[in-house]
């Protein structure tokens, strides 16, 4: 069921760029953003909690939501999709992995270099200065020891800029790659979603892996309707076979 043209392009690729979204961690039990929420937070719109305005309005509420997410992630394990991407790194000459996820599961699965486009859930930063803060876990709203301001989760919120190094490296990789894989993302949030378009415009073969084809699927070369935890190990197995038969 995997397109032969895609495995061929991967086999011949000099540089593969991968963008992942919440869907790749869904099989690890981590809720995505735009699909049904469960339990405690079902009455909150996560998109309303991920803004600087929400934090200024009610920092304790925002912190409760992030602590809940930290707990879920701390109790979760990388799944075969994450592991397959870590394996892919060893099968192609160059791989750039860009993730919109803040859960750190790619690194835990063994991926060596990961560009964390939206920051990291386990980082805490000063709301005013942006510096990393070592905060006690039990403070309802931690404070920055340097300036006394509230500290915040070290993630990128709506309305905020992507850190310049992450942005520059990702866009450079999208322009340079021969194959671009867009995995488990709804392709709705820019600038991340623009990476696939940029890669396509620069001549890369672009493929999406998502059980629900996104609005950009028609624009891509391949849209593989399946779960990342199933499709990626198949893809990597095919590639591994072919590499060893070279």
Q: Applying CB under 6 A, which part among 28-36, 69-77, 129-137, 139-147 lies near ligand OAD? A: 28-36
118 annotated active-site: yes
28 three-state secondary structure: coil
Beta bridge partners of 179: 16, 205
Question: Of 59-67, 73-81, 128-136, 230-238, which part binds Zn ion (CB under 5 A)?
Answer: 128-136
Query: What is the nearest approach in angstroms of Zn ion to the Cβ of residue 132?
Result: 10
Of the residues 91, 184, 198, 199, which one makes contact with ligand OAD according to CB under 6 A: 184
DSSP-derived letter for residue 159 is T
Residue closer to ligand OAD (CB basis): 140 or 161: 161
Q: Which of 181, 185, 195, 207 binds ligand OAD (CB under 6 A)?
A: 185
Closest CB to ligand OAD among residues 111, 185: 185
Which of 24, 109, 144, 198 binds Zn ion (CB under 5 A)? It is 144
Q: Which residues, in sequence order, are bridge partners of residue 119? A: 155
Helix (H) or strand (E) holding 169: helix 164-176
Footprint of ligand OAD on 97-126 (CB under 6 A): 100, 118
Which of 15, 118, 150, 222 is flagged as catalytic? 118
Q: Could you tell me what percentage of the chain is helix, strand and coil, using 3-state DSSP and rounding each to the nearest 5? A: 40, 15, 45
The pair of structure tokens assigned to 189 is 């949030």
Q: Is 69 in the site for ligand OAD (CB under 6 A)?
A: no
132 near Zn ion, judged by CB under 5 A: no
Taking CB under 6 A as the binding criterion, the range among 3-11, 60-68, 121-129, 221-229 that sits at the site for ligand OAD is 221-229
Candidates 186, 195, 197, 206; binder of ligand OAD (CB under 6 A) is 186
Q: Which of 226, 233, 239 is nearest to 84 (CA)?
A: 233
Give just the sign of the alpha carbon dihedral 179, 228, 240, 109: positive
Residue at token pair 């803060």: 133
Phi, psi of 120, deg, nearest 5:
-135, 135
Catalytic residues: 118
């Amino acid at each position: 069921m995997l397109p032969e043209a895609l495995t061929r392009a991967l086999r011949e690729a000099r540089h593969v760029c991968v963008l992942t979204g919440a869907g790749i961690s869904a099989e690890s039990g981590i809720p995505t953003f735009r699909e049904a929420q469960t339990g405690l937070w079902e009455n909150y719109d996560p998109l309303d909690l991920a803004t600087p305005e929400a934090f200024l309005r009610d920092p304790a509420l925002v912190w409760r939501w992030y602590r809940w997410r930290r707990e879920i992630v701390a109790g979760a394990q990388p799944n075969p999709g994450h592991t397959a991407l870590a394996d892919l790194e060893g099968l192609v000459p160059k791989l750039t992995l860009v993730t919109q996820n803040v859960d750190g599961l790619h690194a835990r699965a063994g991926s060596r270099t990961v560009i964390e486009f939206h920051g990291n859930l386990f980082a805490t930063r000063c709301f005013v200065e942006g510096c990393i803060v070592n905060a006690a876990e039990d403070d309802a709203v931690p404070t920055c020891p340097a300036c006394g301001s509230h500290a915040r989760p070290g993630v990128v919120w709506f309305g905020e800029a992507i850190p310049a190094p992450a942005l520059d490296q990702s866009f450079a990789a999208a322009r340079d790659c021969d194959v671009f894989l867009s995995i488990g993302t709804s392709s709705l949030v820019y600038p991340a979603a623009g990476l696939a378009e940029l890669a396509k415009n620069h001549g890369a073969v672009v493929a999406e892996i998502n059980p629900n084809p996104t609005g950009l699927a028609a624009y891509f070369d391949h849209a593989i309707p399946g779960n990342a935890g199933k499709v990626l190990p198949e893809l990597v197995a095919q590639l591994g076979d072919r590499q060893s038969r070279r």
